[in-house]
Structure 1
Amino acid sequence: MALKFLGIISNTPVDESPTIWLDDTTGDLIIQSYKADEATVLQAQEVGSIPGHSTAIPPHETMIRLPAEMLQYIPRPDGDDSATPST
């Protein structure tokens, strides 16, 4: 696995830094961000996903809240990475 740094939210304190990386082997995004609060989790569970699919969060998963500013760092399927800063 080789990670590529994509971006970090601007103006965050040293101990609070939502960050995003790309695993260039698998294409997976690795995201460090704020844990969704209980109200957000409950809202997501009320909305649901697909019929018959559980809305419970298993122990090996978590729900995060990705700040809108971080969306600029998510790679586009068309390969246009113009919003991705060079490292």
Structure 2
Amino acid sequence: MALLFIGIDPNTGDHESPTVWVDQEKHELVFQGWKAGPELEAEAATFEVPGHAVGIPDHEAVVRIPARMVQMIREACDAVEAAARVQ
């Protein structure tokens, strides 16, 4: 796996580190964030979207990313698109 570090929450303290990476081989965004908590996870699990099963599969997670990281997420989107074009 070739992870490209994009950025970390600028308000990170000693024990919090929401982070954004790009997996350059799989052309995917990778996020580390705060656990959503049972209330938000339960709410997200109730959504019915065409083509999407209700619930959250065991191999997936709901995470929170602070809005102040939007620019980093945009940068990660640009980086993953650029990596996909190269192939």
CA distance in 1, matches of 2:61, 2:77: 24
Q: Is the helix fraction higher in 1 or 2?
A: 2
Residue of structure 2 in register with 1:50 after alignment: 49
CA distance in 2, matches of 1:54, 1:22: 26
CA distance in 2, matches of 1:17, 1:33: 7
Q: Normalising by structure 2, report the TM-score.
A: 0.73
CA distance in 1, matches of 2:48, 2:71: 25
- Runs of at least 5 residues in structure 1 that lack an aligned partner in the other structure: 81-87
Size of the aligned set, in residue pairs, is: 79
- Runs of at least 5 residues in structure 2 that lack an aligned partner in the other structure: 83-87
Residue of structure 1 in register with 2:60 after alignment: 61
CA distance in 1, matches of 2:29, 2:77: 12
Alpha-carbon contact 2:17-2:33 (below 8 Å) kept: yes
Q: Normalising by structure 1, report the TM-score.
A: 0.73
CA distance in 2, matches of 1:70, 1:49: 28
CA distance in 2, matches of 1:27, 1:52: 22
CA distance in 1, matches of 2:65, 2:11: 15
Q: Secondary structure at the match of 2:41?
A: helix
CA distance in 1, matches of 2:12, 2:71: 16
